[in-house]
Structure 1
Amino acid sequence: MSSLISGMSHVRLSAPDLDRMQAFLEDFGMILAGRDERRLYMRGTGDAPYLHVTELGEPGTISFGYQVTEPDRLADLAALPGAGPVEPLDGPGGGKRVRLSTPDGLTIELVAGRETAEPLPPRTLIRPPDGESRTLGPARVVRIAHTAFMTGQLARLIEWYQHTLGVIPSDELFLGDDGGVLGQFDRVDLGEELVDHHVVFLLRGRKTGMHHVSFEVEGVDDIFFGYDHMTAAGRDHVRGIGRHALGSQIFNYWMSPDGQMHEHWISAERLNAESAFNRILIGEGMSYDTGEKPPRRFVEQATPLVTFQE
């Protein structure tokens, strides 16, 4: 078991209107976990006390939070180059964190000691005597799955994630005619334990920032009636419904009111430390995917970084 992290704990974004962000995230399928004048905390149906933090401020990306595999080592992590001290973690569930910075300047929060929340009961799948085969309302978000990040220094960022956090590559995308590496999917290494196809996707681009943040939903039906609910609510749809061949992932992408892309996601493929690493030659527009060609704003999306506010 060599990864420093076991998975994501939360994403921390910023927005100028917390009411507006809360309404978007409730339509997206999250539940209010806590709120004050400066911060909004939203949870899913799983046992995490929150998955999504919005800080009051200009629109942007503040940090990615990861759960560490060995909580007792948090003090050791504070000794890593450029790391901050062990400090209390804000929000429901408490806990502690150590903050690092990637070569691009993104803050990474290494988290331990959060108290779990009571999971919400799953949707009833047995039709009652007076029921019918219809589901209305938002998707049910369970947990945070991964992020994608665009960078102008891809090789350096891949090396940082692998050396510092101990992630390992699942698939790498490259272009023909000496176009070079376009991106790499990296997963956590928990030995024989099965994990997601990736916890982060690092992709090459002219901008620096979060491409999207992805949340697992309770079942594949959530992708579809979540689409209906978000559409009826007038939300900004970016891409989907479709399927990523890598990871066997069903997806749908939505833009927040402040330009931060959120994904409804569910996957049928799991990997462990022994799973093969593949290099994939791709065509224009990620041609291995199922569904429509991705629009330009999907390909070029990168929510810029903003400073962590104390």
Structure 2
Amino acid sequence: MASPISGMAFVRLSAPDLGRMQAFLEDFGMVLVHRDEKRMYMRGVGDAPFLHVTELGEPGVVSFGYQLRGDEQLAEVAKLPESQGIETFDAPGGGKRVRLRDLNGFTIELVAGQQRAETLAARPIVRGPDGESRSLSSARVVRLAHTAYMTPNLPETIAWYQRTLGLLPTDELYVGQSDNVIGQFDRLDLGDTLVDHHVLFMLRGPRAGMHHASFQVEGVDDIFFGFDHMRMRDHDHVRGIGRHALGSQIFNYWMSPFEQMHEHWISHERMNAHSRFNRIQIGEGMSYDTGDRPPERFTKQVSPVVAWPQ
């Protein structure tokens, strides 16, 4: 089944202090779109009206948002038994939305018909008369590339997302014996159209929640610009800079003030519906990548699912 979605749209988190979250996200590389007493929207430099929503409330994750390929897919997903029907999307860019609840009780939002935003000017690549090589600014976030989701019901959760979102397995990870599966990377099925290595990584854990949200930056230099900028602002660094062997992705991970992990990410590896599925044996602690071994804090990270805001 072809994917009804074309990619990630946004992540919806929850935090008790919108001001602290705004400061973190601006240093991370996003721009404020709208903020009121209960909710805040942040965008990147691409044409998405927003990439990140923070609801006022206890720390956690509320939902993942996906972009539907069109209105036809909106009508299709509205027929699913988990659907809450088609709703007007009261958010920057407008459009329509269908909310579903997965088997762990987690909400996903499927959106269509949003008005695209004007892209922001690219970082200059030609040095001007008064310019210099080193940038002292934040990274430039372009889009939300993927999310990682922890669940105690890994096989059932994989099956649900593959069936509902038409995802294809890219790489599966196991420790020891091949039946000891600890995670699976899944990508979009858009036929011959090239897509990222994964749009969702599902991993086994003691409770359901978000492991991290991954944001593509404008260029690989942004990973390093972002590292210097975030360090100067005393933000909480978790892991990196490194390279994920699967997907050939350069990464760096940062924790929000409310224990929600955000990744700076860029990759040039692409796949289509015909790309090979591999099962990969890895070491304990998800040790498979280039760079330092993942710290325990990284491997055990999970932001809890919180209730839909009232």
Question: Match for 1:259: what amino acid?
Answer: E
Does residue 266 of structure 2 align to residue 266 of structure 1?
yes
* TM-score where L is the length of structure 2: 0.98
Question: Which consecutive unaligned segments of at least 5 residues does structure 2 have?
Answer: none
Two-structure CA RMSD over aligned residues (Å) = 1.1
Question: Match for 1:91: what amino acid?
Answer: A
Contact kept? 1:182, 1:203, Cα under 8 Å: yes
2:26 aligned partner: 26
Shift of residue 178, structure 1, vs aligned partner: 5.6
Tell me the secondary structure at the aligned position of residue 87 of structure 1. strand
Question: Match for 1:181: what amino acid?
Answer: V
Shift of residue 75, structure 1, vs aligned partner: 2.7
Does residue 151 of structure 2 align to residue 161 of structure 1?
no
Tell me the secondary structure at the aligned position of residue 3 of structure 2. coil
Question: Which consecutive unaligned segments of at least 5 residues does structure 1 have?
Answer: none
CA distance in structure 1 between the aligned counterparts of 2:222 and 2:61, rounded to whole angstroms: 26
Does residue 192 of structure 2 align to residue 192 of structure 1?
yes
Shift of residue 179, structure 1, vs aligned partner: 5.9
Matches within 5 A, 1:1-310: 2-177=2-177, 180-310=180-310
Contact kept? 1:43, 1:50, Cα under 8 Å: yes
Deviation by residue 1:60-109 (Cα, 9 ceiling, x = unmatched): 10000001123233233222012101111122101110000111111010
Q: Which deviates more, 78-87 or 66-75? A: 66-75
Q: Which deviates more, 136-145 or 282-291? A: 282-291
Tell me the secondary structure at the aligned position of residue 146 of structure 1. strand
Deviation by residue 1:155-204 (Cα, 9 ceiling, x = unmatched): 00000000111000110001114661110000001111111100000000
CA distance in structure 1 between the aligned counterparts of 2:288 and 2:268, rounded to whole angstroms: 17
Shift of residue 237, structure 1, vs aligned partner: 0.3
Contact kept? 1:34, 1:91, Cα under 8 Å: no
Shift of residue 111, structure 1, vs aligned partner: 0.4
Question: Match for 1:262: what amino acid?
Answer: H
Question: Match for 1:215: what amino acid?
Answer: F
Tell me the secondary structure at the aligned position of residue 279 of structure 1. strand
Deviation by residue 1:2-31 (Cα, 9 ceiling, x = unmatched): 001110000000001111100000000000
Shift of residue 140, structure 1, vs aligned partner: 0.3
Question: Match for 1:173: what amino acid?
Answer: L
Deviation by residue 1:114-154 (Cα, 9 ceiling, x = unmatched): 00000011111011122121111110000000000110000
Contact kept? 2:142, 2:217, Cα under 8 Å: yes
CA distance in structure 2 between the aligned counterparts of 1:4 and 1:191, rounded to whole angstroms: 12
CA distance in structure 2 between the aligned counterparts of 1:178 and 1:229, rounded to whole angstroms: 42
Contact kept? 2:250, 2:266, Cα under 8 Å: yes
* TM-score where L is the length of structure 1: 0.98
Tell me the secondary structure at the aligned position of residue 123 of structure 2. coil
Shift of residue 309, structure 1, vs aligned partner: 1.5
Question: Match for 2:284: what amino acid?
Answer: E
CA distance in structure 2 between the aligned counterparts of 1:16 and 1:144, rounded to whole angstroms: 23
Shift of residue 37, structure 1, vs aligned partner: 1.2
Deviation by residue 1:240-274 (Cα, 9 ceiling, x = unmatched): 00000100000000000011000000002010111
Question: Match for 1:182: what amino acid?
Answer: I
CA distance in structure 2 between the aligned counterparts of 1:178 and 1:273, rounded to whole angstroms: 24
Runs of 4+ in 1 over 6 A off after TM superposition: none
Alignment coverage as a number of residue pairs: 310
Question: Match for 2:92: what amino acid?
Answer: P
Contact kept? 1:41, 1:54, Cα under 8 Å: yes
CA distance in structure 1 between the aligned counterparts of 2:152 and 2:228, rounded to whole angstroms: 36
